[in-house]
Amino acid sequence: MHVRQAMDRGHLRADLNAEQFVWELGGIYLSHHASARFVRDPEADIRAAIAFAALIERSLPSQSAANDKSRISPAATIERA
């Protein structure tokens, strides 16, 4: 419901596949949980942040993505890690 509201309000692409977005978000959550909790991967937080940033970036309307230079790209996040 919230993803569709974000799409309707122009925060996310109008042609976004909401079900796929939620599927990928759930995958990020579950991967982070397993990596942090069971594997104790010290990189779990940064990996989840990079995956989430990439999901959001490719879900934004193209006009916003091109005009908003203040956003941090996933690539920039990786370089700083």
Residue 1 has a pLDDT of 74
State how far the alpha carbon of 24 is from the alpha carbons of 2, 31, 56, 67, 76, in Å. Answer: 15, 10, 11, 25, 21
pLDDT value of residue 71? 57
User: In this predicted structure, what is the pLDDT of residue 27?
Assistant: 98
- Structural domain including 71 reads 2-80
Q: Which two tokens stand for residue 13?
A: 């692409």
Residue whose entry in the numeric block shows the structure tokens 């790209």? 73
- The total of structural domains in the chain comes to 1
Over its length of 81 residues, how does the chain's per-residue pLDDT go in tens digits? 799 999 999 999 999 999 999 999 999 999 999 999 999 999 999 999 999 999 999 999 986 454 555 555 555 555 555
